[in-house]
A = this chain, B = another copy of it.
Amino acid sequence: MDTRTTRSRTARDVALLAGVSTATVSRALNTPGTVDPDTLKRVRDAVKKLRYVPHGGARSLRSHRSRMVGAIVPSFDYALYARTTSALQQRLGEHGYSVVLAEHHYDLQQELQVARQLIEHSVDAFMFVGVDHDPRLFALLEDYGRPFVLTWGVDSTDRHPCVGFDNRAAGHAIARHVLALGHQRIAILSAPLEGNDRGRERVAGFRAAVVDARVPEPHIEYAERITLAAAEKAMQRLLRRERRPTAVLATNDVMAVGAMLACRKAALRIPEDISITGIDNTDLGATQVPGLTSVKTPIVEIGTAAAEQLIARLEGKEFVVNQALPFEVVVRGSTAPVRRRKETP
């Protein structure tokens, strides 16, 4: 018995068995239409019999294409980017592409590092989350001629292809909802904003709406990480301040649900004592009691559209450079009209 760790068959083995040349094996596999049906069958039988799997490395070495796409996301927690990636993978899979996935934990340096690693593994194209990145990342991609698509945001400067939605507008929309309910003492509960342009835009949208409404400048409290525990702590800090807000705008659902947890522990009633909003419309928020008012963002659609754009580009077809997908405010029980001043001490 052969004891080597890898004992793969090669195109030569298949060629020998089928009585053809390796070139014909290659054609049978890649452009079956150009091969005689009889020959094709013999090759396919040989492939099956030998359990032949071609060597992608050799293929990409020769053809400069690997049929792999890299997806680099901030984090897999809370299923948000995981679901976008899942949609991406699904659509790309239909076209014979595999997806190589990596996280950078909101560290744009690490993002660059990881991208380099994936270029080394010959991925043909990239999906990134967010529009702000290390300039060296763009230089690298340009250098190695790798197409890419930025997601979860829209590039206002139109410099790079992207598929996402207007995070600022989303923040603005949900803040408008809260303002329309009469709230004047509004606070913002934010995820860390380093390397997180989505969060920054959302906060900017919140503030713009509040300022436009001539309501006092909102206090911003930052959580140390995007986790329920960190959000809860930040909310507790917020509640310890002088004048408690009547409404809290959180930059995403995790922050918002963390805020809800803090309110429960502080025996504050939602929405009677305080209104809370999230963004992203996750199951986590939707299943709370009361349900979390949030913005439904195009989580899955982004993945599908990004895949389609990349496929188009890789196949040299036309594509829409800048795609802004729609979002929608979803009102649930966590927001209500503000109560009379005297009732909230």
Contacts and interface: CB of A to CB of B under 8 A. Distances in A.
Most buried by B among A54, A101, A118, A145: A101
A269 interface: no
Nearest to A99: B101
Given A51-B143, A86-B75, A119-B53, A64 B5 contact: yes
B86 A103 contact: yes
A78 interface: yes
Nearest to A90: B103
A145 B5 contact: yes
A83 interface: yes
A118 B57 CA distance: 11
Chain B CB count within 10 A is highest, among A7, A86, A140, for: A86
Chain A interface size band reads 35 or more
A100 B103 contact: no
Contacts of A56: 57, 120-122
Interface in A97-113: 98-103
Given A79-B77, A86-B76, A120-B53, A6 B102 contact: no
Q: How many copies does the complex hold?
A: 2
Contacts of A284: 283-284, 287
Interface in A278-292: 283-284, 287-289
A127 interface: no
Contact of A145 (B4, B60, B98, B143): B4
Q: Which 3 A-B pairs have the closest CB atoms?
A: A57-B57, A76-B82, A101-B101
Interface of A: 4-8, 51, 53-61, 64, 66, 68, 75-79, 82-83, 85-86, 89-90, 98-103, 116-122, 139-140, 143-145, 228, 257, 260-261, 264, 283-284, 287-289
13 contacts: A5-B64, A53-B144, A54-B120, A56-B121, A57-B121, A66-B121, A77-B86, A78-B283, A79-B79, A82-B82, A86-B103, A90-B103, A98-B118
Given A77-B83, A284-B287, 20 more contacts: A5-B145, A6-B144, A6-B145, A51-B139, A53-B119, A55-B120, A56-B121, A57-B57, A58-B61, A75-B86, A76-B86, A77-B86, A78-B283, A79-B79, A99-B100, A100-B100, A261-B287, A283-B284, A284-B284, A288-B289
